Amino acid sequence: MDLLQLKVLKILAAEVSFMTVVVVVVLLTAHTHERRSLIVGIFCIIFGTCMYASPLSVMKMVIQTKSVQYMPFTLSLASFLNGVVWTSYAFLPFDINLVIPNGLGALFGLAQLILYACYYKSTPKAGTKAEVELPTASNV
């Protein structure tokens, strides 16, 4: 087993442990459905927002390099559409635990698409070579 696989297994074990702790603590401390929904809902808001906000670091790189090379269009579009669909669904029975992270996700996805539109033309196309000016030969 190589080092990367070991690291992934450790992260997976930490996630499973965290989930186990959350389930046990919520079941033992919160005795009503409303209280349990509130606690789990807060976790959902935090981690859902973190999931949608994770591409913000790539957006910073896009602005700095003026290139969308590291921000795939399909991922940005899927993130936006996912946020819009889940936000729409959250308004049907109005669930604040779904509206907040997915509404923010739709906004972050829209920001990615706008950024993509702004910097798409300035991104070098794959397979094109940068122009290099060769020194001219001088008469010796």
Residue 71 lies in a domain: yes
Cα torsion through 12, 71, 89, 41, rounded to 10: 40
Residue 13 lies in a domain: no
Give pLDDT, residue 140: 52
Residue 133 tokens read as 């000016």
94 neighbors 61 (Cβ within 8 angstroms): no
* Total number of domains constituting the chain: 1
Residue 40 lies in a domain: no
Residue 81 lies in a domain: yes
CATH of the domain at 58: 1.20.1280
pLDDT in tens, the chain (140 residues): 799 999 999 999 999 999 999 999 999 999 999 999 999 999 999 999 999 998 888 998 999 988 898 888 999 999 999 999 999 999 999 999 999 999 999 999 999 999 999 998 887 776 555 454 556 666 55
**Of 15, 108, 111, whose CA–CA distance to 53 is shortest?**
108
pTM above 0.85, yes or no: no
Give pLDDT, residue 104: 96
Give pLDDT, residue 138: 61
Give pLDDT, residue 132: 46
- Rounded Cα gap, residues 98 and 52, in angstroms: 13
- Rounded Cα gap, residues 53 and 106, in angstroms: 10
116 neighbors 76 (Cβ within 8 angstroms): yes
Residues 79-99 as b or e (16 or more Cβ within 10 Å = b): bbebbbebbeebeeeebebbb
Residue 68 tokens read as 């969308």
Give pLDDT, residue 124: 73
